[in-house]
Amino acid sequence: MKLKYFISLVLLASLASIIYGFTIKETQVAFAHKCIGLGTVGIFLVAMPLFLIKESKGKKVKDYMLTEENILKMQGKKPKKTDNQ
C-alpha cells in the first residue's frame, strides 16, 4: 500500500516539475529544460516501472504472450496436442 503512495508522489512531483519548467521557460531557458527533463525522467524511468512492477505481481507472463496456444484460445479453437504434453 505504501508503494502506491510513493508512485503517486513521484508522479505528482514529476508533473509539477514539467509544469514549472514550462512556466519559467521565457525567463530561465536552461533551468526550464532541466525541470522538464527531470519531470519526464521521473515519469518514464521511475514511476512507470514501479507501477508496472506493483500491478504485475502474482501474474503469469505466459498468459499475456502471443503464443500459438493463446491465439487458438482467442479464436475459440482447441489447442493442438503436441508430443511434449
* Residue 32 CB partners (closer than 8 Å, separation 6+): 21, 22, 24, 25
- Report whether 7 contacts 47 (CB < 8 A): yes
- Report whether 21 contacts 32 (CB < 8 A): yes
C-alpha cell at 60: 503469469
- Report whether 32 contacts 24 (CB < 8 A): yes
pLDDT in tens, the chain (85 residues): 699 999 999 999 999 999 999 999 999 999 999 999 999 999 999 999 999 999 988 888 787 788 888 888 888 877 666 656 5
